[in-house]
Structure 1
């Protein structure tokens, strides 16, 4: 038979009350504990991340830019006169000498003008010879007249002397003596005048010949100039090298000053590279550089810095100092690296995807066990092409993630798988 238990109901009520009390007290504690827990870190495949270890030692500051090889010696050949392209003798790529004809222009009006000046010169020379003959003839006539007047003067003088002698003997009247003396004086004056006329005629002849000679020289100069213009219709290279560009086609009409062709010397090349203006401020003339032609690296030096920035870039010329590798030619795309300075003892790491000089950036530092990465603030100083100087936030041996981590900007921790 059943025996009733005394106090069982009361114990059951007390036990339930204790359980409820424990549960009520545990809920806030659990809630508080959960609130203190960190959110679960997202997982990232570690093999896809680019990392590097912070080091201390020498660091070379460099800047890099893209560019092309360009000739140091370039000749643009302009059209001297108007004309039509009659014949293109050579095409780009041809080796040329200074006197090599590369194309021929046609200008009938210019050729006709040169031929007309040629005959004008011949006509002026013929006129010169005719003038010389005429002047020589006139000079001979004057000499003949002077000789005749001189003879008359001598005769008149002798007659006057004879009459004077006869007059002293009383054989000639005084009137005859005076008439003889007058005739001799007249002949003497005419002789003096004709001698001066002969002298003046010589000077006049020289002046006429000189004037005609000036006219001939003027025509000759005009003809030489026109002849040079005609010869210029046969366009030559100007100096030895390679014909790089032909800017016209056969049948094309060109005006004076139109660029016809471009000749370069392919063995004398330099590199023109574009450097971002924010990085070009430390570049100076004479700094060491390297030019990568993708078929070899050439040592170089900075030879010129463009004073103006175009589209955010500064053009820097690099003078090549080594032998050109095979395939080096004008307009070849190259990479240029300029060495700014050598830092002897600095804390540095490989350059992250983002980071400007003298700025603070966030980088993920990998834990020693390699299972997690936490974001740290890093202050960087000077930067180079491949490395950056670390001023604060990291120490030697720290391993940091350098990849683009923009996808995890909202997280400060990552799990590395």
Structure 2
């Protein structure tokens, strides 16, 4: 008789399959649990920058680039056109005031000077002739005046004598009347001679004044012409260094054409380029600073050029206290330009995190510094080193300020 064999309910293969299924389901659940809700990412701490939030003095500033220039630059233009005949110095020479730089020639101008000088000499000769004629005319009138005066004196004597003789009936009436008429005639001649001499004096003065005025104008014109010819020699207006000299022997230069420039070496200024975004916040008197040879130096805005070119405008800044020793013309400087006064604020160092977050959130480390999670924040103004924290952080908080490019959309970082 056959004995029925009871089939086993769980074989080894079934148990293995069940165990494998359980492990697979567990792994899937783990993965789902790990990836669901708050996603995490393992991060090597050596590849991130961790900064500490702190209280400190904050001043809003912006970085600007500046270039060192002479305190004053005087442009040398051709006051008169001409041909370059001689160049006395080379570009870069140190000049003293009135030192000659170059000489131009202009034959038309030089001919005009000769003609003007001839006109002055001719006018002077005419004036001398006129003065001699007026002087001779005055002498003649004075001689006539003397004759009239003498005739009047004689007529007066005869009239008075005949009057006494007529009263004594020593002479006749006809002789008396003749002497009286002669007396009256000589008296009228005398009055007329006085008027003529007075009028002659006035005329002489007027003619002399007109002649002097004409001569003075002609001399002024001659002086001006000589100056124009003298301007053909270009001279240094002040002490300084000659730069950008643009002239060659035989080259023609038009009136007003730029020949070069003279840099005054008594001091320096800094010309800085600033983004037009800040044009409404830049004004004279604002301060900036820059490092040089291990020290910080202060600058102050002296002039703002409001003309915008390629999205930027310029300002001139002067050294507020001392000029750094060893600084040179043309040297570039990196300047921190202050836009506000100093104040106490909560500060977080600047970093690449801002490009991904826009300053709206940041990865904040846990108390044990083993993880970092997203924290909503609000940032205010910024300077070259820090952002001003308005909300979301406290002094002593540790945050990641390096770039978040590799973090994707992870909500939590596991720091290792």
Query: Contact (CA 8 Å) 2:353, 2:362: kept in 1 or not?
Result: no
Distance in 2 (CA, whole Å) between partners of 1:413 and 1:305 is 49
Aligned residue number for residue 343 of structure 2? 343
- Is the alpha carbon distance of 1:128 and 1:281 closer, same or farther for their aligned partners in structure 2, counting shifts above 3 Å? closer
- Is the alpha carbon distance of 1:351 and 1:277 closer, same or farther for their aligned partners in structure 2, counting shifts above 3 Å? farther
- Partner SS state of residue 110, structure 1: helix
Shift of 1:395: 4.2
Choose the corresponding residue for 1:35, options 24, 32, 35: 32
- Partner SS state of residue 255, structure 2: coil
Query: Contact (CA 8 Å) 1:273, 1:335: kept in 2 or not?
Result: no
Query: Contact (CA 8 Å) 2:145, 2:190: kept in 1 or not?
Result: yes
Single out whichever of 150-159 and 95-104 deviates more from structure 2.
150-159
Q: CA RMSD in A?
A: 3.7
Q: Compute the TM-score of the two structures, normalised by the length of structure 1.
A: 0.82
Query: Contact (CA 8 Å) 1:87, 1:103: kept in 2 or not?
Result: yes
- Partner SS state of residue 352, structure 1: coil
* Structure 2 unaligned blocks of 5 or more: none
- Is the alpha carbon distance of 1:245 and 1:158 closer, same or farther for their aligned partners in structure 2, counting shifts above 3 Å? same
- Is the alpha carbon distance of 1:313 and 1:372 closer, same or farther for their aligned partners in structure 2, counting shifts above 3 Å? farther
- Is the alpha carbon distance of 1:249 and 1:207 closer, same or farther for their aligned partners in structure 2, counting shifts above 3 Å? same
- Is the alpha carbon distance of 1:343 and 1:184 closer, same or farther for their aligned partners in structure 2, counting shifts above 3 Å? closer
- Is the alpha carbon distance of 1:30 and 1:153 closer, same or farther for their aligned partners in structure 2, counting shifts above 3 Å? closer
1:72-114 residue CA offsets vs partner (Å, 9 max, x unmatched): 3222233222223332322332222222222222222222222
Shift of 1:288: 4.2
Query: Contact (CA 8 Å) 1:359, 1:381: kept in 2 or not?
Result: no
Query: Contact (CA 8 Å) 2:34, 2:40: kept in 1 or not?
Result: no
Aligned residue number for residue 224 of structure 1? 223
- Is the alpha carbon distance of 1:382 and 1:5 closer, same or farther for their aligned partners in structure 2, counting shifts above 3 Å? farther
Aligned residue number for residue 333 of structure 2? 334
Aligned residue number for residue 355 of structure 1? 354
Shift of 1:352: 1.3
Query: Contact (CA 8 Å) 1:54, 1:398: kept in 2 or not?
Result: yes
- Partner SS state of residue 244, structure 2: strand
Aligned residue number for residue 6 of structure 1? 4
Distance in 1 (CA, whole Å) between partners of 2:337 and 2:65 is 11
- Partner SS state of residue 217, structure 2: helix
Distance in 2 (CA, whole Å) between partners of 1:126 and 1:31 is 124
Distance in 1 (CA, whole Å) between partners of 2:293 and 2:388 is 29
- Partner SS state of residue 146, structure 1: helix
Query: Contact (CA 8 Å) 1:293, 1:333: kept in 2 or not?
Result: no
Distance in 2 (CA, whole Å) between partners of 1:34 and 1:119 is 111
Note the 1:8-407 alignment, pairs <5 A.
Answer: 8-9=6-7, 11-12=8-9, 31-38=28-35, 46-278=45-277, 285-292=284-291, 297-307=296-306, 310-339=309-338, 340-344=340-344, 346-353=345-352, 355=354, 360-365=359-364, 374-407=373-406
- Is the alpha carbon distance of 1:304 and 1:133 closer, same or farther for their aligned partners in structure 2, counting shifts above 3 Å? closer
Query: Contact (CA 8 Å) 1:114, 1:223: kept in 2 or not?
Result: yes
Query: Contact (CA 8 Å) 1:295, 1:326: kept in 2 or not?
Result: no
* Structure 1 unaligned blocks of 5 or more: none
Shift of 1:26: 8.5
- Partner SS state of residue 336, structure 2: strand
Query: Contact (CA 8 Å) 2:350, 2:386: kept in 1 or not?
Result: yes
Query: Contact (CA 8 Å) 1:295, 1:325: kept in 2 or not?
Result: no
- Partner SS state of residue 268, structure 1: strand
Shift of 1:6: 2.7
Single out whichever of 232-241 and 16-25 deviates more from structure 2.
16-25
Query: Contact (CA 8 Å) 1:52, 1:350: kept in 2 or not?
Result: yes
